[in-house]
Amino acid sequence: MKIVFMGTPDFSVPILVALHQKYSVDLVVTQPDKFVGRRKVLTESPVKVKALDLGIEVFQPRVIRKDYQRILDVKPDIIITAAYGQIIPAAVIDFPKFGSLNVHGSLLPKLRGGAPIQRAIKRLHKETGITIMYMAYKMDSGDIISQETVEILPTDTSGTLFDKLSLKGVQLLMDTLPSIFNTTNQRTKQDESLVTYAYNLKREEEKINWNLSTKEVDAHVRAFSPQPSCYTTLGSKSIKIHKAVIFECNNFEKNHGNQENGTIIKIFKDGIGVKVNNGVIVIKELQLEGKKNQDVTTFMNGAGRNLIKVDKVFK
């Protein structure tokens, strides 16, 4: 059984490891190394790092629709993808005997696209899940083979939900593959009337809108944590918000209803209370531009002492 695995982020790594342990992977396809951070350090993808550690050949086409012959040369019996990051050409999808499968982080047909985990949190979904599906050239539109639901907790960030879904993906894929190989699996067409999309995150979405409700602002921060993280501005300073919680505020309308949304209304020992549309959000961890992420207590003992004041307004 010749297997080609295609994936890029941390989400994909446990799936690669489980596949290689049980079946052996012949080739790993991942995104090209990229420059990361302010210092522009050339960085390998998590999948590439793990593949090299396992002794598996790695192929990194810059544009796979133009450069895919190495995959065909392996003559794979099956291709398995998990958050690869490029649209795969039909010549590759249609090649393997047992087809090309995708491990997708949503309950398709909901949340087709590149950011289903972040979008599920940001849109206040109560649950999401993993779908094992046949790949099709149209984005995430292939027939469903198996699915499993995962609850989204009120404390989940995209980081914690990535971890839970990755492990669930390993389990579901390993349970599903035997039926693929003995051709007893089911396949169900997606209901196009139920399709929603989860397109990749955009830079302009990272800025917090303090005019939203407490639940919406809280979900926004959690959806963008730990990466790429949300930000706000105070005067000329840009501040990343890494963690925040909803504050139960009695007599909110009486005490703060007329203040501008984004106003700092109280500085707690370990948090900064900010007025939003229908209540108060308390910032717990933040990062001033050019500095490290800090809890509020540490921040207020340093750079925040002269910056954060009651009645100042985040924009």
pLDDT in tens, 32-85: 999 887 778 999 999 999 999 999 999 999 999 999 999 999 999 999 999 999
Give residue-wise pLDDT tens across range 226-251: 999 999 999 999 999 999 999 877 66
Residue 83 falls inside a structural domain: yes
We report the CATH number of the domain holding residue 286 as 3.10.25.10
**The last residue of a domain, from among 160, 194, 228:** 194
93 shares its domain with 170: yes
39 shares its domain with 157:
yes
- Asked if the model's pLDDT at residue 253 lies above 80, the reply is no
Domain end residue (candidates: 142, 169, 194): 194
Q: Are residues 228 and 178 in the same domain?
A: no
State which of 194, 227, 257 marks the end of a domain.
194
Distance (Å, whole) CA 299 – CA 313: 18
pLDDT digits (tens, 9 = 90+) for 82-105: 999 999 999 999 999 999 999 999
Average pLDDT over the chain reads 94
How many structural domains are present in the chain?
2
Please indicate, yes or no, whether residues 256 and 183 belong to a single structural domain of this protein: no
**255 part of a folded domain:** yes
Are 212 and 160 in the same domain? no
- List the domain range (segments joined by +) for residue 260: 204-305
Q: What is the CATH number of the domain that holds 145?
A: 3.40.50.170
Tell me: do 29 and 152 sit in the same domain: yes
State what percent of residues in the chain have pLDDT above 70: 97
171 and 261 within one domain: no
Report whether pLDDT(254) > 60. Answer: no
Residues 282 and 243 in one domain: yes
Whether 314 maps to a domain, the answer reads no
Tens digits of residue pLDDT in 171-202: 999 999 999 999 999 999 999 999 999 999 99
Note whether 225 and 270 are same-domain residues. Answer: yes
Asked whether residue 313 is assigned to any structural domain, the reply reads: no
Q: 171 and 59: one domain?
A: yes
138 inside domain:
yes
In a domain, 109, yes or no: yes
